[in-house]
Structure 1
Amino acid sequence: METLQSIISFILNDLGAAVFVPLLMLIIGLSMKMKFSEAFSSSLTLGIAFTGMSILINYMMTSMGDAAQKLAQNTGLSLPAVDGGWPGMASISWAWPYAFLMFPLTIGINILLLMFNKTKTLNVDMWNVWNKIFTAVMVSYITGNVLWGFVAASIQIILELKAGDMWGPEVEKLTGIPGVTVPHFVTLIATILFPIDELLKKIPFFNKPLDADSLKEKIGIFGENSVMGAIIGFLLGLAAGYGFSGALQLAIQAATALTLFPMVSKLFSQALSPISEAISDFMKNKFSGKEVYIGLDWPILAGRNELWVAVIITIPVLLIMAIILPGNTVLPFAGIINLSFVIGALLLTDANLGRMIFHGVISAPMFLYGATYFAPYITRLANETGAATVNEGKLLSWSTFEGPDIRLLFSTAFSGNIIGIVLLAAWMGLFYWMYHSKKKYNATIEND
């Protein structure tokens, strides 16, 4: 056990995603009979793409996040739960004593489902195993049973793989990269947004194309990535109290990020297309054309500027909700850039900016109440593991708590709560409905 824990620690902490994933893709490429020079070049380019995108995301999160946090500070509001954001949650999750067991569980379930043709997704996004750990901890704390925690995490692994199958054609459409998908837990928010999205499609304004390209056609220069970024950055800077010069600086920073995101995202296509073709050819020759998607982390979608426009526009909404919602204890701070809705909304709506923003607005209370509900359990995990120090009278939480719906339902259902069991079954029914609806939609994409 100690050896396994050391290996996992080395992969996650010492190598990191920008090294580990390209190494894994090099092995996969060579296994698919690629020439070493081609496999090495593709893997190296993938490492460059991940590093470049990470730099840009951190740049955006720092510049926009600092402004958003300043906006939060300007409210003068004091709430007891400190927002640690997703990095804080990941850190304390890996400190859980049983965390290392989630790594082989994730790989084992994936291999079994591939062997029995129950998924097309080979998930190589091992960093986000922490998300399954986090679910297991929350469920085990609330139910008082570690086994239920691992059962919930196992179901989550299966749902993520099925989501990967479902999103594959959409990811290719949005990124231009064949044979990849995003089996990330954060996309499962689309499950409860799906019926709302189906209603929005019937409303004239929301059922017309409204991605970055169509927006550019409608409003000209104001739809340019750089101009949109500059306008949003300037307005956020003014709202944060930066003054005119500070707002102008933030405008340039936002314009820079939104201009560079699509450029860096092309590196993913350059890196992954040769590997995807090799996998496709191998599967056709060996397994009668069996299709496999490579499951990667969500940053392969970060080149879509609709994602960043929607998430920045909803920052003030999240902050206002935190102030006015009765019973909320969390002031958005470290997690104020709400990636927890926007990636699922991007995939669900086919990058329709109007519907994405609508989903961000209506889902804000769910994230805040989820953060409030789970705050005592997050605080307990931090204190028990020693991963963070939370002073008495304070709580640690995450304002844009990923998957508050399904994590709450896992916890209540496995505690024997009848309403929780019924609602979990209903959630699964919604997922089934969305899955089959997207399969029909995917068939139209593939036929085009």
Structure 2
Amino acid sequence: MDVIMQAIEWFIGLGSTVFLPIIIFIIGLIFGVKPAKAFTSGITVGIGSIGLGLVIDLLSGSLGSAIQLMGENYGTSLSIMDIGCGVGGPLAFSTTLGILLIPVSLIVNFIFIALGLTKTLNVDIWNFWFPAFLGLVVQSVTGNFAYAVLGTVVAVMLQWLLADLFQERISSFFGYPGIAITHMMALSGAVFAIPVNWIFDHIPGLKDMNADAETLTKRFGIFGDTTIMGLIIGIVVGIFAGYDAAGFLTLGMSTAAVMKIMPKMVAMFMEGIMPIAEGAKEFASKHLGGRSVNVGMDAALTVGHSAVMSSALLMVPISLALALVLPGVKILPFGDLAFFAFVICLMIPFFKGNIVRSIIGCSLYMVTMLYLSTWLAPVVTDVFAIASYNVGTTGLVSFVTAGLWPVALFVLACRYLGVAGLVLIAAAIIAVMFYVNKVKAPKEA
């Protein structure tokens, strides 16, 4: 067992830009893709992943530094440190629970696909960190490692269910056939967006407002262009961070560059993954009675969309303002500001790409995250202690994107019902899976 764990740790240690192409190649062979084509797909996905990483590093590095200065200038009274979700992966995969989740999730995923309970084959191994984090949350609340293992399995089941439920809408909006997004942080926002958009549909004036990226470009000329919006937002953030002219102009150009380059990197990523998605369809047709199989991927594939990037950049000053004015909020968005695109990206399809709806809806969502991340801070701090992960402070820590409803659900279920709470959540997930994929699907065929 120790040898297997060490092998998995070594594999993860290679980094996602190395292990993801290997996984894509192996999955391609399993689905009957010719070796040369599967190999090329893996390499192309790796190149796209590197490109996405470089662009995200540019965004988080340049914009993140400015945001930190803004936080120091305007949020010194807020007592809980937002260390950001960027530590989530290193945290999760530094624990036995995180490493153990990888083989367990893949095995259970194949079983659920074979049983017809899910259509999602999740190969986005790096983002297994969030289910592992939920498992650590369970361990914090219950003090029981076995319950934590169960919690991680329930969490990945929830991922597959949400990925199945939203795949059609998300795939149609972004133009990714055969792809499902399995990033839990992003999927959580979609659940919030659906009822909020229904409310928007019944508000006079707002329900008829057409404000997608193309309409804004036509109405406001170059100022409606997402690249120009990135330039302006970068300059404004730089000014509030106290940069000189050279500094805020450079930041503006960096932000504009991200808006322009990101879609091209996503396109390269998709170029590599599409042959695997097509192979999955053919495999399912031959061996799974015609059932469809969607390849589960990172939400990074969606953040290059103009409406997503525009909304994410605009949410930076909005979230800071909300943290400063909302009573009872004790956390200032800090480490997570550069990652907001991953939190809101799957909300945008349900707002139909409408920038106005997206900003209002995402702002409401941010209110819930700020309060929940404040409330969850003692649990999150304990999670880092369980993992023996040094956060560089003796006070409470949290991150805004920890303030999501799945985290609150697991905490409440375990706190008041113990392991029975996890069992109830699992039973509900399987029941909905059965209805969606075994009862409802055949009738729609």
| Interval containing the TM-score (normalised by the shorter chain) | 0.7 to 0.9
Determine the structure 2 residue equivalent to 1:381. Answer: 383
Determine the structure 2 residue equivalent to 1:109. Answer: 108
CA distances 1:30-81 after superposition (whole Å, capped 9, x unpaired): 2333332222222211111111011111111222222222211111524332
Distance 1:324 1:30 in 2: 54
Q: SS of the residue aligned with 1:411?
A: helix
Distance 1:215 1:37 in 2: 44
CA distances 1:90-116 after superposition (whole Å, capped 9, x unpaired): 323333343332223312321121011
CA distances 1:280-316 after superposition (whole Å, capped 9, x unpaired): 2333334443211000111111221222211121112
- Counterpart contact for 2:182–2:296, Cα < 8 Å: yes
2:363 to 356, 361, 364: 361
Higher mean alpha-carbon deviation, 232-241 vs 124-133, is at: 232-241
Closer/same/farther in 2, CA of residues 252 and 35 from structure 1, 3 Å limit: same
- Counterpart contact for 2:75–2:324, Cα < 8 Å: no
Letter in 2 for 1:6: Q
Kindly report which structure 2 residues correspond to 1:13-412, keeping only aligned pairs within 5 A, or say none.
Answer: 13-14=13-14, 16-75=15-74, 77-186=76-185, 187-203=187-203, 204-206=205-207, 208-337=209-338, 338-339=340-341, 341-392=343-394, 394-401=395-402, 403=404, 405-412=405-412
Letter in 2 for 1:26: F
Distance 1:399 1:347 in 2: 22
Determine the structure 1 residue equivalent to 2:414. Answer: 414
Higher mean alpha-carbon deviation, 20-29 vs 256-265, is at: 20-29
Distance 2:432 2:312 in 1: 27
Distance 2:392 2:270 in 1: 43
Closer/same/farther in 2, CA of residues 4 and 67 from structure 1, 3 Å limit: same
Higher mean alpha-carbon deviation, 321-330 vs 5-14, is at: 321-330
Closer/same/farther in 2, CA of residues 193 and 417 from structure 1, 3 Å limit: farther
- Counterpart contact for 1:340–1:402, Cα < 8 Å: no
How big is the shift at 1:339? Answer: 4.0
Distance 2:398 2:87 in 1: 9
Distance 2:412 2:86 in 1: 26
Q: SS of the residue aligned with 2:416?
A: coil
Distance 2:289 2:251 in 1: 53
- Counterpart contact for 2:105–2:153, Cα < 8 Å: yes
Aligned length: 431
Closer/same/farther in 2, CA of residues 205 and 125 from structure 1, 3 Å limit: same
Letter in 2 for 1:315: V
- Counterpart contact for 2:378–2:396, Cα < 8 Å: yes
Distance 2:109 2:403 in 1: 22
- Counterpart contact for 1:371–1:397, Cα < 8 Å: yes
Distance 2:62 2:207 in 1: 31
Q: Flag as ranges the 4+ runs of structure 1 deviating above 4 A.
A: 206-209
- Counterpart contact for 1:160–1:185, Cα < 8 Å: yes
TM-score, normalization: structure 1?
A: 0.87
Higher mean alpha-carbon deviation, 212-221 vs 180-189, is at: 212-221
Distance 2:21 2:352 in 1: 28
**Alpha-carbon RMSD:** 3.0
Letter in 1 for 2:40: S
- Counterpart contact for 2:351–2:358, Cα < 8 Å: yes
- What fraction of aligned residue pairs are identical, expressed as a percent? 26
Higher mean alpha-carbon deviation, 41-50 vs 318-327, is at: 318-327
Q: SS of the residue aligned with 1:34?
A: coil
Higher mean alpha-carbon deviation, 362-371 vs 91-100, is at: 91-100
Closer/same/farther in 2, CA of residues 199 and 192 from structure 1, 3 Å limit: same
- Counterpart contact for 2:300–2:342, Cα < 8 Å: no
- Counterpart contact for 1:383–1:389, Cα < 8 Å: no
How big is the shift at 1:395? Answer: 1.9
How big is the shift at 1:223? Answer: 2.6
Closer/same/farther in 2, CA of residues 344 and 379 from structure 1, 3 Å limit: same
CA distances 1:362-388 after superposition (whole Å, capped 9, x unpaired): 122322222222222332333343320
- Counterpart contact for 2:373–2:403, Cα < 8 Å: no
Closer/same/farther in 2, CA of residues 432 and 307 from structure 1, 3 Å limit: farther
Closer/same/farther in 2, CA of residues 255 and 370 from structure 1, 3 Å limit: same
Letter in 1 for 2:6: S
- Counterpart contact for 2:89–2:126, Cα < 8 Å: no
Closer/same/farther in 2, CA of residues 182 and 389 from structure 1, 3 Å limit: closer
Closer/same/farther in 2, CA of residues 237 and 116 from structure 1, 3 Å limit: same
How big is the shift at 1:432? Answer: 6.5
How big is the shift at 1:214? Answer: 3.4
How big is the shift at 1:207? Answer: 5.0
Letter in 2 for 1:91: P
Letter in 2 for 1:89: G
Letter in 1 for 2:136: V
Distance 1:344 1:222 in 2: 25
Closer/same/farther in 2, CA of residues 18 and 174 from structure 1, 3 Å limit: farther
Distance 2:253 2:221 in 1: 19
Q: SS of the residue aligned with 1:98?
A: helix
Letter in 1 for 2:310: V
Gapped regions of structure 2 (runs ≥ 5): none
Q: SS of the residue aligned with 1:308?
A: helix
Distance 1:347 1:46 in 2: 24
Closer/same/farther in 2, CA of residues 352 and 149 from structure 1, 3 Å limit: farther
Distance 1:41 1:207 in 2: 46
